[in-house]
Amino acid sequence: MSSYDENESKLMRKARENPFVPVGIAGFLAIVGYRLMKMRSRGDTKMSLHLIHMRVAAQGFVVGSMTIGVLYSMYRDYIVKPREEKAAKNK
């Protein structure tokens, strides 16, 4: 049995749990699209070198987005949640 609603896709569930997932996907697609359009005016640069630069830029954006997402999740779980629990105990 799944732990989420049957009508909800896994991507939508992940996007709600961690808002940096769609940011990473959108950034990846934007970088790849930009570099593919720029490929026409690459001049005398080799195709393989251009593709390597595109891959490194896209992967760097995704890794950066994942890192920010993990830091946000840790902040939420270890700083915000204990404060809320402590405030609830004091009431």
Query: Do the Cβ atoms of 18 and 69 come closer than 8 Å?
Result: yes
pLDDT means per 10 residues, the chain with 91 residues, are: 63 78 86 86 83 90 89 89 83 72
* The two structure tokens encoding residue 42: 């690459």
Predicted pLDDT of residue 1: 44
Predicted pLDDT of residue 30: 92
Query: Do the Cβ atoms of 58 and 28 come closer than 8 Å?
Result: yes
Neighbours of 31 (CB within 10 A): 19
Structural domain count of the chain: 1
Place of tokens 């940096």: 20
H or E element in which residue 78 lies = none
2 domain residue, yes or no: no
1 domain residue, yes or no: no
50 domain residue, yes or no: yes
H or E element in which residue 19 lies = none
Structural domain of 36: 18-90
Predicted pLDDT of residue 72: 87
